[in-house]
Amino acid sequence: MTQDATPASLQPPRQMMGRGNAWLRGLGAVLVSMAMTFLGLIAITFFVGRVVPIDPVIAVVGDRAPIEVYNAVRAEMGLDDPLILQFLRYVADVLTGDLGMSISTGGRVIDDLVRVFPATLELATLGIIIGVLLGVPMGVYAASHHGTFVDHAIRVLGLVGYAVPAFWLGLVGLAVLYARLQIVGGPGRLDFFYDGLVPPVTGLILVDSLLAGDMAVFRNAFSHIILPAAVLGFFSLAYISRMTRSFMLDQLSQDFIMTARVKGISERRVIWHHAFRPIRVPLVTVIGLSYASLLEGSVMIETVFSWPGIGNYLTTALLNADMNAVLGATLVIGMVFILINKGSDVLYRLIDPRARA
């Protein structure tokens, strides 16, 4: 009888193999879900681009072009083909990174998005950092001091964050902090004098200036970004603090919190160890959604501060009826939402062992 020559000690345990197979199945399910969601996003952008009352041919040739030129350009753009053929061609182009040419800039849309997206990423990232560092402690403190003046003040601050228009707060900030007090930089990412002094490596001015060791550019870039980031961070703070307070109030009303207090555990440990730990999972989702909304919803802030990001690019494209740029920017923003949502899923699985099980 033939025996297996491999020693039993070298054979992988069945438990490890089962975990590996489960991990691979989970990864495959995530990738399939992302692919299907992205395909649906492509379909939505394609059909929205076909139903909006903007003629892409007129946007190219102008409204005074002869009918012969109009028909020739329309045929060249493939708009006379059946709709399903146009959609399949559009899917193939998107998957190969071809988002068409931009009427506004005269360049490829994908190149424009690669150029402008780092500015939005840098601004939104600093904004979410401000929102998390301030919003989470404020929500915890408000819940642990429920019904006090501080609790009411934090709730009012959250309501103001929901009610005040972003563009108005940005304009007030520029008028007071830049024009009047001159303690922050003005519109744009850099003063004209510092523009081009640091070679672009990541596209993030703060990071590139640190990599180059140019602290003068770093300080100038920080003075420009801090005000728009603070405005975005304020709106993020309002949402995060409100949700954190709600989660904490629910936890502080549980029986195990009362038991911990009866045992004589310090109030600080009760709040941050026993009450805060269970809310980390839903809080990750809240922060992820807030971050995605900052990346997508910074259009008005970028317009007010002349910030050369994807929001400003999208606004310019809409004003110029540049549908290739509009649809390309929409695809990028939608893909960011997909990635952040899936990233949130991965994070809360790492935080909560029950989710991994």
Could you tell me which residues come within 8 angstroms of residue 98 by beta carbon, excluding any fewer than 6 positions away? 108, 110
Question: How many helices and strands in the chain, by DSSP H and E?
Answer: 16, 0
Distance CA 128, CA 126 (A): 6
Per-residue pLDDT of the chain (357 residues; tens, 9 = 90+): 444 444 544 455 565 555 656 667 766 777 777 788 888 888 888 887 777 767 777 767 777 778 888 788 778 777 777 888 888 888 888 888 888 888 878 888 899 999 999 999 999 999 999 999 999 999 999 998 888 999 899 899 888 888 888 888 889 999 999 988 889 888 889 888 888 888 888 889 999 999 998 899 999 999 999 999 999 999 899 999 999 999 999 988 888 888 888 888 888 888 888 888 888 888 988 898 888 888 876 778 888 898 998 888 888 888 887 888 888 888 888 888 888 877 777 776 776 665 555
In this prediction the pTM is 0.81
Phi, psi at residue 108, to the nearest 5°? -70, 140
Show the domains of the chain with their CATH numbers: 25-95 (no CATH), 117-320+339-356 (1.10.3720.10)
